[in-house]
């Protein structure tokens, strides 16, 4: 039985350099398992406060997530094995994972591209925000992952989603979409609290490789969105190469504007403006960088761009 996370020595050295005297708290939180959390699905639940009371009467211990009116941490039960989950009235979702959809904030008449959609947490959340109106093209490269996405779409009663199976780096939709979500494949450094083996194959080389793929995704997402449209880029990693470096690329190479990511109740940390001899554009400061200790969540990063 694994009793502590597997953190490679180069990983620990990297974040000791980045965090300095805050590194001890970071390592402490890396070793604490995440609380379970749920999003109440308003596509199937009309009255959230009433439904919360119902869950509490069943013995669920709920604590509201500050930045989302219908999301709660849960103790006392296993929500993914509950009757409520199989009815699609709740969706098990990590609190930081709510941020990209909230930051994109798709409207009911929007045409949205979710470039890397599976298994569907953010896709179905966007459908909820849109009240099942408009249209979401939910794409993934993996048929196996696409099956999981399809299951979650059906479970949650999301009716405005079209599934596609394509390599997102080869998607060519010139200025078709109002908004684009790129929840990019990454090194998953922020997920160690959920999966203590998440970093067992981590290396600086993998970080650099993923960053190149992420920049390619952002380039294609920029082509796909209309002028004055919005792109949200997110990762569940902490690596500057995969976060601030990609944002810097968006500003310098793609001409994107970086808009502030601010949600009421969400604590964020200063973004990294310089790393490994690279100076990033000052606009990276508008992004949301979440260390695990900031909100007792996964590590996460979210950027909101506007295409000029």
Q: Would you state the structure tokens that stand for residue 199, as one six-digit string?
A: 């970093």
Q: Please list, in sequence order, all residues whose beta carbon lies within 8 angstroms of the beta carbon of residue 246, skipping any fewer than 6 positions away.
A: 184, 211, 214, 215, 218, 233, 303
End-to-end C-alpha distance for the chain, whole angstroms: 52
- 168 band by pLDDT with thresholds 50, 70 and 90: confident
* Domain assignment of residue 119, yes or no: yes
| Active-site residue, selected from the candidate residues 116, 236, 271, 287 | 236
Polymer length in residues for the chain: 308
- Please check the confidence at residue 271 and state whether its pLDDT lies above 60: yes
Q: Scanning the structure block, which residue is given the tokens 């300095």?
A: 20
- Asked if the model's pLDDT at residue 169 lies above 80, the reply is no
Please indicate, yes or no, if residue 6 is contained in any of the structural domains: no
pLDDT classification of 173: cutoffs 50, 70, 90: confident
Whether the predicted pLDDT of 29 surpasses 50: yes
Q: Is residue 8 part of a domain?
A: no
Domain assignment of residue 295, yes or no: yes
- What pTM was computed for the model? 0.96
Is residue 81 assigned to a domain?
A: no
277 domain-assigned:
yes
> Which whole number is the average pLDDT over 128-153?
94
Specify the pLDDT at position 82: 97
Tell me, yes or no, if 186 is annotated catalytic: no
Query: Does the pLDDT of residue 13 top 60, yes or no?
Result: yes
Task: Give the pLDDT confidence score for residue 143 in this predicted structure.
Answer: 83
**Is 231 or 170 the better-scoring residue by pLDDT?**
231
**Is 71 inside a domain boundary?**
no
Answer yes or no: is 88 within a domain.
Answer: no
> pLDDT by residue (tens digit) across 147-157?
999 999 999 99
In this predicted structure, the answer to whether residue 184 has a pLDDT above a threshold of 80 is yes
Q: Is the pLDDT of residue 49 over 90?
A: yes
Q: How confident is the model at residue 3 (pLDDT cuts 50, 70, 90)?
A: low
13 token code pair: 């050295």
What does the pLDDT look like over 236-247, one tens digit per residue?
999 999 999 999
For the chain, give the mean pLDDT: 96
Nearest CA to 117 out of 155, 148, 81 is that of 148
Could you tell me the two tokens for 160?
């405005």
pLDDT above 50 (res 146):
yes
Tens-place pLDDT, residues 64-92: 999 999 999 999 999 999 999 999 999 99
- CATH code, domain carrying 202: 3.40.50.150
Q: Which of 258, 288, 307, 229 is nearest to 98 (CA)?
A: 288
Q: pLDDT by residue (tens digit) across 205-230?
A: 999 999 999 999 999 999 999 999 99
Question: Which pLDDT score is estimated for 1?
Answer: 47
**In the predicted structure, residue 172 carries a pLDDT above the cut 80:** no
Task: State residue 132's pLDDT score.
Answer: 98
Residue range(s) defining the domain that contains residue 117: 95-307
Give the total number of structural domains in the chain: 1
The CA R_g of the chain, rounded to the nearest whole Å, is: 19
Run of H or E including 145: helix 143-156
């Amino acid at each position: 039985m694994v009793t502590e996370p597997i953190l490679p020595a180069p990983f620990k050295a990297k974040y000791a350099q980045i965090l300095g005297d805050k590194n001890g708290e970071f390592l402490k939180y890396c070793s604490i398992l995440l609380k379970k959390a749920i999003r109440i699905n308003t596509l199937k639940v009309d009255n959230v406060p009433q439904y919360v009371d119902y869950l509490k009467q069943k013995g669920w211990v709920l604590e509201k997530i500050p930045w989302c009116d219908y999301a709660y941490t849960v103790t006392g039960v296993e929500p993914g094995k509950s009757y409520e989950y199989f009815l699609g009235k709740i969706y098990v979702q990590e609190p930081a994972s709510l941020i990209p959809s909230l930051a994109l904030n798709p409207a009911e008449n929007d045409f949205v591209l979710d470039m890397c959609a599976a298994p569907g947490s953010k896709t179905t959340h966007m459908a909820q925000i849109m009240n099942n109106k408009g249209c979401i093209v939910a794409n993934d490269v993996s048929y196996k992952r696409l099956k999981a996405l399809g299951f979650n779409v059906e479970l949650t009663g999301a009716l405005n989603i079209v599934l596609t199976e394509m390599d997102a780096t080869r998607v060519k939709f010139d200025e078709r979409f109002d908004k684009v979500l790129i929840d990019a494949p990454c090194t998953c450094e922020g997920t160690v609290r959920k999966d203590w083996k998440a970093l067992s194959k981590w290396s600086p080389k993998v970080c650099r490789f993923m960053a190149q793929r992420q920049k390619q995704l952002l380039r294609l997402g920029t082509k796909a969105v209309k002028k004055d449209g919005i792109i949200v880029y997110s990762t569940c990693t902490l690596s500057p190469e995969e976060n601030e470096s990609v944002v810097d690329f968006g500003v310098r190479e793609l001409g994107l504007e970086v808009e502030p990511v601010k949600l009421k109740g969400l604590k964020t940390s200063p973004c990294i403006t310089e790393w490994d001899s690279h100076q990033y554009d000052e606009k990276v400061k508008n992004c949301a960088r979440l260390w695990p200790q900031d909100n007792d969540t996964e590590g996460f990063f979210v950027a909101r761009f506007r295409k000029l």
